[in-house]
Amino acid sequence: MAAALLSAGAAQAAPAPAGGGEPAPGCVQYAASWRYTHVGNGCDTAYRLTVEYADGTDVPCREAQPGTTVTFPGYGTGGNAVLGVRLCPSPSA
């Protein structure tokens, strides 16, 4: 599925989030719909990622291994939007 996501025309490179924070690298792409936001890691490194939404919805970070896709909530039917994907800090030990 990750290969399909990364080659899909609807996939977008992860832009810098509008609210600040470190953006995901360009090899991380996402495809958003009203129900799901699929984030594919096309990098050679695992990343902890989250999705930034226009309305400030807070979603937990998920780890994406190289070549995998992780799923977040979509933008819904209420006019929300996905602004981008950002990196999360490593969990504290």
pLDDT per position as a tens digit, 58-91: 999 999 999 999 999 999 999 899 999 999 987 7
54, pLDDT greater than 50: yes
Q: Helix, strand, or coil here: 33?
A: coil
50, pLDDT greater than 60: yes
β-pairing, 69-73 vs 28-32, is: unpaired
38, pLDDT greater than 60: yes
Question: What pLDDT score does 29 carry?
Answer: 98
Question: What pLDDT score does 89 carry?
Answer: 87
Average pLDDT over residues 23-37: 97
85 contacts 51 by C-beta, under 8 angstroms: yes
- Which residues, 6+ apart, have CB-to-CB distance to 34 below 8 Å? 74, 75, 76, 77
d(CA 6, CA 8): 6
pLDDT band per the 50, 70, 90 thresholds, residue 52:
very high
d(CA 33, CA 73): 9
Q: Helix, strand, or coil here: 64?
A: strand
Structure tokens at 87: 């990196």
